[in-house]
Amino acid sequence: MDYRTLPKIELHRHLEGNFSPRVLYHMAQKNHLSFPRDYEEFKAKLQFPKDSPPDFFLFLSKFYNTWYKSLDDVHEVVYTSMKEMALDDNLAYLELRFNPIHYAIHCGFDPVDTLNTVLSALRQAVDERGIFARYLITFNRGFQKQEEMKGLLTRFQKEADLTGVVGLDLAGDEVNFPPELFTDFFQYAHAQGFKATFHAGEVSSPEQIRCAVMDNQALRIGHGVSLIQDPSLLQQMKDKEVTFEMCPISNYQTGAWADTPNHPIKRLLREGLKVTLNSDDPTVQNSELYDEYKVAHEKMGLTLDELARLNHNSIDGCFLSDQEKQKLRRDFDAEWKKAVQ
């Protein structure tokens, strides 16, 4: 089975985990950063070792944000990475998330200028590549308190070109910054028309999933593997048709769920929940989205029909308009039929 040929819809991919090693190597040399000069050694520093046992801290150590000395650097990294994004993934639609503060934190770039730079680079690259993509702005729960988030979102609305932005994402340290610390912010964001997805239940209890959905109006949950521990909550999430953005390879590498053949995505899908299949951070993980399909089919035992259903769930849960979803579903079904004949 050539998993590259299958059309795919992805809801959970971080731009910061999708950078081109080639362009990062160029930035490291240009800006005289302390990284290996040998390219293969440089790549090894960026990527989780293939076939390595789970190691949460090793995984986190692969994320760097010191590449940029100017907003032109930001534009080059984002634009080139999107242009070089794996052609083999055969993406029918992508919702790509990014945190503007990641790019601004070391050099003091203005967050609005940074957001505009990233969005401009993304729009230029996807137009040239012909990718159907939309964007989520990530807020990191460990970087800002909710009042700061509210002030920043207000600035973004007033001063930035948000063309292509379809929602918000809450990421970062789940354990020390639970969802209840951000309820006021997301109530404000919801009132402004922003849809939201939360990282929850990856390395935290099912209670974080409950709070994200019930109190913070999250429509989607990133990872959410701990849902499997709470049958009552599982039924609530099924009834509310909450979408779960699951990432098995990432979960293995971080140790969030190291028993890949028994990853919750299989049971939850078969129990009728809106689970989806995603790559999370392809460059860091040293894998691509089609590798997730290979793992799901060959290690978990999901059928091709079930892989198609994961994509239908992604269409149901994506932040496009109903009209755009209808067209996407028609196009996806036609391409899927061709790929599996």
Residue 46 banded pLDDT, cuts 50, 70, 90: very high
Integer Cα distance of 108 and 70 in angstroms:
10
* DSSP structural state of residue 54: P
- For 56-67, how does the pLDDT look when each residue is reduced to its tens digit (9 = 90+)? 889 989 999 999
- Measured in degrees and rounded to the nearest 5, phi and psi for residue 146 equal -65, -30
The pair of structure tokens assigned to 30 is 């240009």
Q: State whether residue 42 is helix, strand or coil.
A: helix
Residue 12 banded pLDDT, cuts 50, 70, 90: very high
- For 176-223, how does the pLDDT look when each residue is reduced to its tens digit (9 = 90+)? 999 999 999 999 999 999 999 999 999 999 999 999 999 999 999 999
Beta-carbon contacts of 75 under 8 Å, excluding residues fewer than 6 positions away, are 117, 118, 120, 121
User: 94 vs 108, which has greater pLDDT?
Assistant: 94
* pTM for this predicted structure: 0.96
The pair of structure tokens assigned to 44 is 């090894």
- For 155-176, how does the pLDDT look when each residue is reduced to its tens digit (9 = 90+)? 999 999 999 999 999 999 999 9
- Report CA Rg, the chain: 19
Residues with active-site annotation? 202
Report yes or no: 117 and 125 within 8 Å, Cβ to Cβ: no
Integer Cα distance of 125 and 164 in angstroms:
13
- Burial string for 113-124 (b: 16+ CB within 10 Å, else e) reads bbbbbbbbbbbe
- For 127-144, how does the pLDDT look when each residue is reduced to its tens digit (9 = 90+)? 999 999 999 999 999 999
Flag whether pLDDT at 51 surpasses 90: no
